[in-house]
Amino acid sequence: MKQRLIVTPDLCTGCRTCELACAFAHPIKGKPGRSRIYPLPTGKSEMWTPVVCLQCDDPACAKSCLVDAITRNEETGAMELDNDKCVKCMACVAACPFGCSLHDTLHDLVVKCDLCGGDPVCAHFCPTKALTCRPVTPTRRKAVV
Amino acid sequence: MVSLTINGRVVQANKGEMLLTVTRREGIDIPALCHHDAVEPFGACRLCMVEITKKEWDGWTNYVAACLYPVEDGLIVQTHSSKVNELRRTVLDLLLARCPNSPEIRQLAAEYGVTQTAYEEIPDADNCILCGLCTRVCERLGFKAISTVGRGHDKVVAPPLKEAPPDCVGCLSCAQVCPTNVIQYKDEGNKRTIWNKSFELIACKQCGKQIITRDFAEALSSQRNIPADYFELCDECHRKELSVKMGSIVSWSREAAS
């Protein structure tokens, strides 16, 4: 079942629990990895919002990847990056218009949100339900091309 | 699906998969320097040699490069038998004679008990093992800026005529995949230099962070149909922009509701 991570900025308090959950859900060699989700201030009356990959219908990251390392997981609907295929050219990091393809400089890896294989850990840990996950309904409106 | 035995363990694999892919998935550590999942297997470094046999071979065995050998039903594989380790030691001995100063080769050789090469070391050697991974990745990316030049002793990895390559866009993929880190580049100010060619790095309009070169961005825009203005900001400023936009959307909807 395709999943969609729903972000409700109204409810976000900027506690950064999602960031912590993400780092621990994606460990590298037993250590927390770089978080794929970033709570950032919106500049409007102390409102925060988690910034996370939108899993675009027409993704610039996959289009920019010249070795086809970023592909859609048809089961979860997430764009997933294969680190064994990645040649670290940084094309996706530069091309993503939302800045959600990230370079983990500590481990020298490119990382992005993969929806944790269909069950996003950040949504489980969000104390205010600013992040929720729900399956995409079949009657979803088609993208305007 | 085919079923084979690796180090005494029965393993399932898909038809057409290479042995190295299966062993890596099973968590068996086979050294391989010239292998990368982005490109077709090449079999240049000969370090992934394994021993194979079948029941019907009456005890006869064969030694094959795991990266190039497709899995077969009933195959019995030994990845670290004494004969295989002996083969790898010989290969590492030769590699050590070729690249005596490479820390990566030295470490791998030490793991197999080779600390000093039995052959004559090449004088003024560089660390290139001529596996051609850089040239293959460059070809896969579609730029074909570098290739192996010459034969035998004179073989080197170089751009055409050993001049600044006209097709290079400075993406650094060759340097990133090189197993012995031999390809040198320099990022200084807003200039990147690789293969004796100088490139302009795109600086983020807001914070000045540099990610890729202008030539690479132009190549991506024209080949992959990505709007050129996507490359004007860095990833961090893109995220900030998105958070501000989402804040505006929320405040609009609040105003509309009240």
Nearest residue in chain B measured CA to CA from A103: B235
Distances (CA, A) of A125 to A12, A21, A24, A31: 12, 7, 12, 19
Minimum-distance CB partner of A95 among B36, B142, B231:
B231
Please check whether residue B109 is in contact with residue B84, taking contact to mean a CB–CB distance below 8 angstroms: no
Strand partners, A79: A72
pTM over cut 0.90: no
Distances (CA, A) of B117 to B32, B106, B120, B200: 19, 10, 7, 43
Q: Does B224 touch chain A (CB under 8 A)?
A: yes
Instruction: For residue B106, give the amino acid letter.
Output: R
Q: Per-residue confidence of chain B (258 residues) as pLDDT tens digits?
A: 999 999 999 999 999 999 999 999 999 999 999 999 999 999 999 999 999 999 999 989 999 999 999 999 999 999 999 999 999 999 999 999 999 999 999 999 999 999 999 999 888 888 999 999 999 999 999 999 999 999 988 899 999 998 999 999 999 999 999 999 999 999 998 999 999 999 999 999 999 899 999 999 999 999 999 999 999 999 999 999 999 998 888 888 888 887
The ipTM assigned to this model is 0.88
| A86 interaction partners in chain B (CB closer than 8 Å) | 38
Q: Are strands B2-6 and B76-78 parallel, antiparallel or unpaired?
A: parallel
Nearest residue in chain B measured CA to CA from A58: B226
Closest CA relative to residue B228, chosen from B208, B242, B214, B238: B214
Distance from CA of A139 to the nearest CA of B (A): 24
